[in-house]
Amino acid sequence: MDAVTYPDPTVAEFVQRNVVPLRVRWNDEKLAPQFNVKWTPTLVTLDEAGKEHHRTTGFMPPEELVSSLMLGIGKTHFDLDRHEEAATVLASLVAGFPKSGSAPEALFTLGVAGYKAGHDPGRLKQAYERLAAEYPASEWTKRALPYRLL
**Span 81-91, pLDDT tens digits:** 999 999 999 99
Alpha carbons 44 and 52: distance in angstroms, whole number: 7
Tell me the average pLDDT across 103-111: 98
91 lies in some domain = yes
- Taking the alpha carbons of 83, 84, 89, 95 in that order, is the dihedral positive or negative? positive
The CATH number of whichever domain residue 98 belongs to comes to: 1.25.40.10
Overall pTM surpassing 0.85 (yes/no) = yes
User: What pLDDT is recorded for position 3?
Assistant: 78
Looking at the DSSP assignment, which residues form a beta bridge with residue 43? 56
Q: Tell me which residue of 68, 115, 58 sits closest to 90, measured CA to CA.
A: 68
Distances (CA, A) of 6 to 49, 64, 102, 122: 26, 12, 18, 39
List the domain range (segments joined by +) for residue 53: 9-149
90 lies in some domain = yes
SS3 assignment for 28-91: CCCHHHHCCCCCCCEEEEECCCCCEEEEEECCCCHHHHHHHHHHHHHHHHHHCCCHHHHHHHHH
84 lies in some domain = yes
